[in-house]
A and B are shown apart, each in its own frame.
Chain A
Amino acid sequence: GQQVMQIPQYQHVQEGEDFTTYCNSSTTLSNIQWYKQRPGGHPVFLIQLVKSGEVKKQKRLTFQFGEAKKNSSLHITATQTTDVGTYFCAQHGGSQGNLIFGKGTKLSVKP
């Protein structure tokens, strides 16, 4: 069935280092969304990418959608302790627009 593969599963960085998580699909995606879930919290929408090759920035976060619309990445520049959490990519699946989530990348930041 449809699924998005997300790597790495875990990432431990020193504060100030960069971080990247990758999301890959075997099928062409109509769009992809990114969510962040803090420990003990709920997923919070970050961004949606729709166009082939699209790049969007939110302060220190850079989101990319591949040219073939089969992969996406989230890059955080100069991580801070507030970046701690699990980052999920998600694609729309099924017939009703429900989201299919990747397994997520859990980021920990050492001060």
Chain B
Amino acid sequence: GAGVSQSPRYKVAKRGQDVALRCDPISGHVSLFWYQQALGQGPEFLTYFQNEAQLDKSGLPSDRFFAERPEGSVSTLKIQRTQQEDSAVYLCASSLGIRYSNQPQHFGDGTRLSIL
């Protein structure tokens, strides 16, 4: 596709439910990042993949958050036993190069997650 695609666009879940958010990066992009953006704030880093390898997960707020990119393309961010503080927009970004290539990151439209 032309850009980074994320689904669903909106997700409403009850507290305690598990959710899965999908990211389809730009074809051929090696690097994939997940960010969390709270209302009125800048995006905050969650985790990074280089191809299928998860090289950095230091931003994941708890062990309830899990991400994978098994074939080095599509990535899924899973949140188990959701809590109200998980409500945010989850952004996926991809870039062509590997780490420190300093290339621009291309963002998807995000998934707006609301936990009731």
A92 / chain B contacts, CB cutoff of 8 Å:
100, 102
A44 / chain B contacts, CB cutoff of 8 Å:
107
A95 / chain B contacts, CB cutoff of 8 Å:
55-56, 99
- In the assembled complex, A99 has its CB within 8 A of some CB on chain B: yes
Q: Which residue of B lies closest to A97 (CB)?
A: B99
CB distance from B14 to the nearest CB of A (A): 25
Number of A-B contacts (CB under 8 A): 66
B33 / chain A contacts, CB cutoff of 8 Å:
98-99
Within 8 A of A (CB), among B85-116: 91, 93, 95, 98-102, 104-110
A12-20, A51-59, A69-77, A100-108 - interface stretch: A100-108
Asked whether, in the complex, the Cβ of B42 is within 8 Å of the Cβ of A101, the reply is yes
- In the assembled complex, A68 has its CB within 8 A of some CB on chain B: no
CB distance from A52 to the nearest CB of B (A): 16
Per the CB 8 Å criterion, the residue count for chain A at the interface is 25
Q: Which residue of B lies closest to A95 (CB)?
A: B56
The answer for the CA separation of A30 and B73 in the assembled complex, in Å, is 29
Asked whether, in the complex, the Cβ of B99 is within 8 Å of the Cβ of A99, the reply is no
Asked whether, in the complex, the Cβ of B55 is within 8 Å of the Cβ of A88, the reply is no
Chain B interface residue bracket vs A:
20 to 34
The answer for the CA separation of A104 and B45 in the assembled complex, in Å, is 15
3 shortest interchain CB distances as A-B pairs: A101-B42, A45-B104, A97-B99
20 contacts between A and B (CB under 8 A): A30-B102, A43-B43, A45-B104, A45-B105, A48-B104, A92-B100, A93-B45, A94-B45, A95-B55, A95-B56, A95-B99, A96-B48, A97-B31, A97-B48, A97-B101, A98-B45, A99-B33, A99-B43, A104-B41, A104-B42
Given A43-B107, A93-B45, A97-B95, 11 additional A-B pairs, CB 8 A: A42-B110, A43-B91, A44-B107, A45-B106, A92-B102, A96-B56, A97-B100, A97-B101, A97-B102, A99-B33, A104-B41
Which residues in B have some Cβ–Cβ distance to A below 8 Å? Answer: 31, 33, 35, 41-45, 48, 50, 55-56, 58-59, 91, 93, 95, 98-102, 104-110
Which residues in A have some Cβ–Cβ distance to B below 8 Å? Answer: 30-31, 33, 41-45, 48, 50, 88, 90, 92-104
